[in-house]
């Protein structure tokens, strides 16, 4: 029997149709342009008001999940692949239905409140740390917080102990829920974490061992001297089930999460996001991604980043299923083949791998297979670029060729694919569009806008842009005269993208100065991205206001800081230029050497004398692969010593005697 209809999905379907061909996707509002700023742009369907929610009765994500649990209680909700220690393999997916997750999150939420009371926490609302990879318990924990008016604080587990320490202290967390492998790290940090009183293991701590031998007893013996108590998730749920306390549901303006961004020049900033922000973001996502109750997604992008989180909000609101990957991204395709998702969100770095594998197996093959594949791709590329009726589908080739190719990735059921976090190469975007033959869009958003700001709409087959203004959003472009970007530029306006929306964050936690810098008196958020907008209201990112790089995995890098650290700690270098871009996942460096210090160092590396006065010999040494490899090792040591994140460390170098001069126009006279 079909599940009851859902107002949010019905409304989303009504709003999915694109504008008439040739009409703009975003429209400038008449009379809104001001000195130094372009007109204000809104989505073509939402020119009079911004979208808040697809269903007026749903104003928090707590409401959205409860609605689904009551509407489709026996639908698959959260799934994982259990590990078999005997065969050392991961099995088939095991699923919990909505009513099971509803019961567990209710008990967990009550148990959390009770443990905080016992630990002396008296505030009505507070944050709870989440420190683990994507897994069903992450979502159960998040939903548990919502059920009692609490909020989660995600800790991205690859940022290292310094960032973990900072976030726990800054957010004043009394409790962190984490996977078993992180508990020793938290205990080591405890002397510097005065607020931490509770650790909840999302993994079992007892498996029937004799007294004194369980993980719970051993860990608590270590923790007791530190003033910390350790519980398993089962302990907390059992406590909650015995307490019989009702929900304490949040209000729309209550915090749903504090999401810490990776800092570029200092500590991470805590982005305060509300339930109203989350509902608006999920509403926009339901429209763009065409979510349905029978959908299934695969969760693998870090839930500590807001991009994955909004996708799971949408899935839970629509009553869809979420299958969590088993933890090894190199084996993601194994999970995809089992889940066979209908909606897929990824990043350019992953799509690059997909594209390379597909080309190797098809268009780059010899003989008939390669010839046929090249014919199919060229035929479909011609169709997608048709100026009158562009299309990425083909009645014959999709059935005979595309379906077989994408089935190798487990994506043969996928109706919608999203690329975000960094720009996807336009030629790759078009290639994958013709291969997958589905709605493959590029979007743009930030943590501060709950990942929702711009997105390509259905039927728009252009590449190299982020599409239309979201239904929840209005934007304008502000002049950046120092960089010669003006809202009066021709043929199209250019400037810094300013965003005002129902998804925009409230503030940076405990950081009024940064909040004031980011949000002006009229509520406009300064994105820091330079954009241009075309005649159809599609926005394209062309630069950054600050000298900051964004890598393929979405991390922002401050190259000047990295250059200064290297030069300060590596005497054989005289000048430095660190480079990265959003199509690559690592940094590279061009360095000028200081011959007086470089020559002795290179002599040791090469095992032969290099005379510092012999510029030819110094140049030859600088070009030697052995020397370049040795310098990368040296830079790695410096990076670790200065607590660089892994993505901030240079992985490849070129060395020159004098790379930057006025004569070669790489150095200005000043």
- Each residue of 456-481: pLDDT tens digit? 999 999 999 999 999 999 999 999 99
Helices and strands, number each (H, E), in the chain:
21, 30
Sign of CA dihedral 95, 108, 162, 254: positive
Strands 439-444 and 416-419: parallel
Q: What is the DSSP string of 57-113?
A: T--SHHHHHHHHHHHSTTSEEEEE--EETTTTEE-S-EEEEHHHHHHHHHHHHHHHH
Residues 164-183 as b or e (16 or more Cβ within 10 Å = b): bbbbbebbbbbbbbbbeebb
Q: Contact, 621 vs 627, CB < 8 A?
A: yes
Q: Using pLDDT thresholds of 50, 70 and 90, give the confidence band for residue 159.
A: low
Per-residue pLDDT, averaged over 339-364, amounts to 90
- Domain 61-330 class in CATH: alpha beta
Q: Using pLDDT thresholds of 50, 70 and 90, give the confidence band for residue 355.
A: confident
Nearest-angstrom CA–CA distance, 183 and 162: 15
Q: Contact, 137 vs 327, CB < 8 A?
A: no
Q: Using pLDDT thresholds of 50, 70 and 90, give the confidence band for residue 3.
A: confident
Q: How many CA atoms lie within 13 A of 134 on its CB side?
A: 28
Which residues, 6+ apart, have CB-to-CB distance to 537 below 8 Å?
24, 25, 26, 27, 28, 41, 44, 468, 469
Higher pLDDT, residue 411 or 214:
411
Q: Supply the Cα-derived Rg of the chain in whole angstroms.
A: 27
Strand, coil or helix: 609: coil
Taking residue 490's Cβ as centre, other Cβ atoms within 10 Å add up to: 7
Q: Look at residue 251 and tell me whether its pLDDT is greater than 80.
A: yes
Lowest mean pLDDT among 148-152, 566-570, 616-620, 621-625: 566-570
Provide, for the chain, the percentages of residues in helix, strand and coil under a 3-state DSSP scheme, each rounded to the nearest 5. 40, 20, 40
Q: Contact, 106 vs 247, CB < 8 A?
A: yes
CA angle 381, 384, 386 (to 5 degrees): 110
pLDDT tens, residue by residue, 74-114? 999 999 999 999 999 999 999 999 999 999 999 999 999 99
Strands 175-178 and 198-201: parallel
Taking residue 619's Cβ as centre, other Cβ atoms within 10 Å add up to: 16
Taking residue 32's Cβ as centre, other Cβ atoms within 10 Å add up to: 14
What pLDDT was estimated at residue 670? Answer: 27
- Domain 347-544 class in CATH: alpha beta
Nearest-angstrom CA–CA distance, 18 and 415: 16
Q: How many CA atoms lie within 13 A of 527 on its CB side?
A: 30
What pLDDT was estimated at residue 235? Answer: 96
Domain boundaries, the chain: 61-330, 347-544, 549-656
What pLDDT was estimated at residue 365? Answer: 92
What pLDDT was estimated at residue 307? Answer: 95
pLDDT tens, residue by residue, 593-609? 888 788 989 999 999 99
Q: Contact, 275 vs 251, CB < 8 A?
A: yes
DSSP label of 402 = I
Nearest-angstrom CA–CA distance, 143 and 162: 28
Identical fold between 347-544 and 549-656: no
What pLDDT was estimated at residue 668? Answer: 33
Nearest-angstrom CA–CA distance, 173 and 220: 19
Give a three-class secondary structure readout of 643-668: CCCHHHCEEEEEEECCCCCCCCCCCC
**Count of positions (residues) in the chain:** 670
Upstream peptide bond of 335 is cis (omega within 30 degrees of 0)? no
Tell me what percent of the residues of the chain surpass a pLDDT of 90.
75
Residues 292-323 as b or e (16 or more Cβ within 10 Å = b): bbebbbbbbbbbbbbbbbbbbbbbbbbbbbbb
Q: Using pLDDT thresholds of 50, 70 and 90, give the confidence band for residue 136.
A: very high
Select from 667, 628, 668 the least CA-distant residue to 650. 628
Nearest-angstrom CA–CA distance, 533 and 490: 11
What pLDDT was estimated at residue 558? Answer: 67
Q: Contact, 309 vs 138, CB < 8 A?
A: no
Give a three-class secondary structure readout of 315-330: HHHHCCEEEECCCCHH
pLDDT tens, residue by residue, 483-540? 789 999 999 999 999 999 999 999 999 999 999 999 999 999 999 999 999 999 999 9
Q: Contact, 155 vs 168, CB < 8 A?
A: yes
Higher pLDDT, residue 229 or 208:
229
Strand, coil or helix: 55: coil
Per-residue pLDDT, averaged over 359-363, amounts to 90
- Backbone dihedral angles phi then psi of residue 503, each to the nearest 5 degrees: -100, -5
Higher pLDDT, residue 643 or 153:
153
Select from 606, 605, 573 the least CA-distant residue to 590. 573
Q: Using pLDDT thresholds of 50, 70 and 90, give the confidence band for residue 662.
A: very low
pLDDT tens, residue by residue, 300-324? 999 999 999 999 999 999 999 999 9
Strands 343-346 and 94-97: unpaired
Strand, coil or helix: 78: strand
Q: Look at residue 669 and tell me whether its pLDDT is greater than 70.
A: no
Tokens of residue 153, six digits: 């604080």
Architecture per CATH, domain 549-656, reads as 2-Layer Sandwich (3.30)
What pLDDT was estimated at residue 265? Answer: 55
Select from 612, 639, 610 the least CA-distant residue to 624. 610
Tokens of residue 192, six digits: 């510097």
What pLDDT was estimated at residue 568? Answer: 65
Nearest-angstrom CA–CA distance, 178 and 35: 51
Show the beta-strand stretches assigned E in 191-276: 198-201, 229-232, 255-260, 270-274
What DSSP element (H or E) covers 144? helix 136-147
Q: Look at residue 336 and tell me whether its pLDDT is greater than 90.
A: yes
Q: Using pLDDT thresholds of 50, 70 and 90, give the confidence band for residue 208.
A: confident
- Backbone dihedral angles phi then psi of residue 283, each to the nearest 5 degrees: -60, -45
Nearest-angstrom CA–CA distance, 168 and 485: 40
Select from 223, 153, 226, 242 the least CA-distant residue to 192. 226
């Amino acid at each position: 029997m079909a599940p009851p209809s859902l107002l949010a999905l019905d409304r989303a379907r009504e709003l999915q149709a694109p504008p008439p061909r040739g009409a703009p996707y975003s429209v400038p509002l008449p009379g809104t342009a001001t000195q130094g700023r372009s007109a204000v742009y809104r989505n073509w369907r939402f020119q009079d008001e911004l979208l808040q929610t697809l269903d007026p009765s749903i104003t928090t994500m707590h409401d959205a999940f409860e609605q689904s649990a009551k509407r489709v209680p026996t639908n698959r909700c959260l799934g994982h692949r259990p590990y078999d220690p005997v065969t050392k393999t991961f099995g088939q997916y095991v699923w919990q239905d909505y009513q099971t997750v509803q019961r567990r999150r209710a008990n967990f939420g009550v148990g959390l409140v009770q443990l905080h009371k016992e630990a002396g926490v008296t505030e009505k609302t507070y944050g709870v740390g989440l420190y683990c990879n994507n897994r069903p318990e992450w979502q159960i924990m998040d939903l548990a917080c919502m059920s009692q008016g609490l909020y989660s604080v995600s800790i991205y587990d690859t940022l290292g102990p310094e960032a973990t320490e900072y976030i726990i202290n800054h957010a004043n967390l009394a409790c962190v829920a984490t996977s078993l492998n992180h508990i020793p790290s938290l205990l080591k940090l405890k002397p510097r974490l005065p607020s931490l009183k509770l650790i909840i293991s999302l993994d079992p701590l007892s498996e029937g061992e004799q007294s004194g031998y369980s993980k719970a007893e051993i860990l608590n013996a270590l923790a007791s001297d530190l003033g910390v108590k350790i519980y398993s998730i089962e302990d907390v749920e059992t406590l909650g089930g015995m307490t019989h306390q009702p929900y304490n549901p949040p209000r729309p303006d209550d915090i749903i999460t504090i999401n810490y961004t990776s800092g570029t020049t200092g500590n991470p900033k805590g982005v305060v996001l509300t339930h109203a922000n989350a509902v608006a973001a999920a509403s926009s996502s339901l429209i763009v991604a065409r979510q349905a109750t029978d959908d299934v997604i695969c969760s693998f992008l870090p839930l500590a980043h807001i991009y994955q989180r909004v996708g799971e909000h949408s899935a839970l609101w629509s009553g869809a299923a979420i299958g969590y990957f088993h933890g090894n991204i190199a084996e993601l395709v194994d999970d995809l083949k089992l889940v066979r998702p209908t909606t897929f969100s990824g990043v350019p770095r992953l799509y690059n791998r997909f594209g390379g594998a597909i080309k190797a197996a098809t268009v780059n093959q010899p003989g008939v297979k390669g010839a046929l594949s090249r014919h199919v791709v060229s035929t479909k590329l011609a169709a997608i670029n048709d100026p009158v009726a562009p299309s990425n589908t083909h009645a014959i080739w999709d059935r005979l060729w595309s379906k077989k190719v994408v089935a190798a990735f487990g994506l043969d059921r996928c109706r919608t694919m999203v690329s975000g976090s960094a720009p996807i190469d336009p030629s790759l975007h078009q290639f994958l569009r013709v291969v997958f033959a589905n709605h493959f869009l590029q979007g743009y958003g930030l943590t501060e806008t709950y990942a929702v700001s711009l997105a390509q709409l259905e039927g728009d087959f252009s590449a190299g842009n982020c599409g239309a203004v979201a239904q929840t959003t209005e934007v304008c472009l502000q002049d950046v005269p120092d960089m010669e970007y003006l809202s009066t530029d021709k043929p199209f306006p250019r400037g810094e993208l300013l965003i005002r929306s129902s998804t925009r964050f409230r503030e940076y936690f405990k950081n009024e100065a940064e909040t004031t810098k980011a949000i002006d008196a009229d509520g406009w958020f300064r994105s820091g991205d330079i954009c241009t907008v075309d005649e159809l209201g599609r926005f394209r990112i062309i630069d950054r206001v600050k000298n900051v790089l964004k890598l393929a995995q979405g991390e922002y890098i401050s190259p000047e800081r990295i250059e200064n650290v290297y030069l300060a700690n590596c005497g054989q270098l005289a000048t430095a230029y660190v480079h990265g871009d959003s199509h690559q996942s690592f940094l590279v460096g061009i360095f000028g050497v200081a011959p007086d210090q470089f020559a002795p160092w290179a002599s040791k590396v090469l095992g032969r004398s290099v005379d510092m006065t012999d510029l030819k010999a110094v140049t030859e040494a600088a070009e030697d692969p052995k020397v370049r490899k040795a310098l990368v090792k040296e830079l790695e040591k410096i990076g670790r010593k200065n607590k660089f994140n892994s993505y901030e460390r240079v992985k490849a170098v070129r060395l020159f005697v004098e790379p930057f001069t006025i004569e070669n126009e790489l150095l200005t006279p000043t």
